[in-house]
Amino acid sequence: MAYEFTVSGRIAKPVHEVFEAVADPAKLSSYFTTGGAKGRLETGSVVTWDFADFPGAFPVDVVEVEQDRKIVLRWEANEGEGKMEGVGYQTTVTMTFSPLEDGRTLVSIHETGWHDTPGGFKGCVGNCSGWTQMLCAMKVYVEHGINLRQDMYV
């Protein structure tokens, strides 16, 4: 059995604004990728993300994008060793953006594909924590313009 998880959060902005906070590399770099993001998330593209706690930009394959609805990514699995390369397999991340009746947006992030090993479990738990941090940081950035992750990891 492969390890997987889903995390969700509600952001008090319209779905288009929330979607763009992920798809637009300048916006994503303002609250999540502490070392920067390069490339807009578009179906078939390969972008790069860089984090202070995982130094060195790494590729992210953009499998599918449905404007204002869904983003599907694949990237090298991390098995909790503090680096994003050399594990030998990828995981799949699916982000969905759902408008709520009160004008907020529900963002859900599902990641799957880790091997059923102690390293796979460690990587899954670590990424679950990372995506939860991303949702919290995105909420504060999109709603209030504050970057929670600034200077947190360096």
Give the number of C-alpha atoms closer than 13 A to the C-alpha of residue 149, restricted to the C-beta side. 24
34-50 per-position pLDDT tens digit: 888 999 999 999 999 99
The pLDDT value given to residue 86: 62
Give the Cα separation of 17 and 88 in Å (integer): 35
Delineate the domains of the chain, giving CATH numbers in brackets.
Answer: 3-144 (3.30.530.20)
Per residue in 114-149, pLDDT tens?
999 999 999 999 999 999 999 999 999 999 999 887
4 to 15, 41, 65, 77, 86: CA distances (angstroms): 25, 23, 21, 12, 20
pLDDT in tens, 56-80: 788 999 999 999 999 999 999 988 6
* Ramachandran class of 70: left when φ > 0, alpha when ψ lies in -120 to 50, beta otherwise: beta
How far is residue 111's CA from residue 28's CA, in Å, rounded to a whole number?
Answer: 19
pTM metric for this prediction:
0.92
What secondary structure letter does DSSP report for 121? H
Residue 120's φ and ψ, nearest 5 degrees, are -60, -40
How far is the first Cα of the chain from the last one, in angstroms, to the nearest whole number?
36
pLDDT tens-digit map of 80-100: 665 555 678 999 999 999 999
